[in-house]
Amino acid sequence: MSKVVLITGASSGMGREAAILLAKAGHRVYAGARRLDRMADLADHGITPVMLDVAHGDDNERVVDQIVEAERRIDVLINNAGFGLYGPVEEISLEDARYQFEVNLYGPARLTQLVLPHMRAQGSGRIVNVSSVGGRVFTPFGAWYHATKHALEGWSDCLRLEVAPFNIQVVLIEPGLIRTEFGEAAADEMSKHRDGAYRDGLAPLLKMRDNPRTVNLGTNPEALAKVFVEAATTDKPRRRYVKGMMARPALLVRQWLGDGAYELALRRTLR
């Protein structure tokens, strides 16, 4: 059965590939992102691109109203938009940290609040929140990013219980290392702090960014796009989908060997 789907962060990477796969499967897809020009060709796939900055409440309301007016329903919301603010906690401004939460947590929360009344009225719906393996593990210099993903995990689990009586499902996707623009953008953020007090800790991470052998590490976004489609459309979705380079090993080390072993592995990797 064809579904009406809104996916955010669809101008590149996993979001873009998932939007295309969903449209190929016969679903009515609305692809949201700030960079509308980068989504113009999605119309060739039968996708409707919409200008959407999830950190702006007016954008969220306008897009949901547009979809409901055109389709009379909305079946799936995929909260994929996000970015990683990387650098030392001491040196990142609280203003920047608040914006990280606006995009990675409060934006998805507001969109969810807007679609839930329509899903309750139609008696079904699904919220797919794209978290990260970083919502369950941690790395140095990613404190604010990890904080948003840890928060999204707990928020999603609570939401799942609240909306279950209305036949609305909540699913988390936890990508590992994916070959997208995300890693380069995060490294660019870290490089702003390369001459500060934490330069010795940042040096190994920036060296990895500049190493030709590691620059292209990661799982192809197409592989995650398939997970997005399953999470959005299967009759009985899992609560969590884990996919991507180093995702499962990182979770297993922390779960079974504890924080000490996990931190030791990080230190050895980042020498």
Nearest residue to 173 via CA among 210, 224, 97 = 224
> What strands lie across the sheet with 28-33, from one edge to the other?
48-51, 28-33, 4-7, 76-79, 125-130, 168-175, 240-243
Number of DSSP helices (H) and strands (E) in the chain, helices first = 10, 7
Q: How many angstroms separate the CA atoms of 181 and 12, rounded?
A: 8
Q: How many residues does the chain have?
A: 271
Which residues fall within 8 angstroms of residue 65, CB to CB, at 6 or more apart?
Answer: none
Which residues fall within 8 angstroms of residue 199, CB to CB, at 6 or more apart?
Answer: 193
Q: How many angstroms separate the CA atoms of 163 and 203, rounded?
A: 45
The enclosing H or E element of 77 equals: strand 76-79
Q: How many angstroms separate the CA atoms of 135 and 116, rounded?
A: 24
Q: Which of 30, 145, 198, 262 is catalytic?
A: 145
- Is 145 tagged catalytic? yes
Which residues fall within 8 angstroms of residue 20, CB to CB, at 6 or more apart?
Answer: 42, 45, 47, 225
Contact 242, 250 (CB under 8 A): no
The enclosing H or E element of 161 equals: helix 143-163
230, two tokens? 């399953």
Catalytic residues: 145
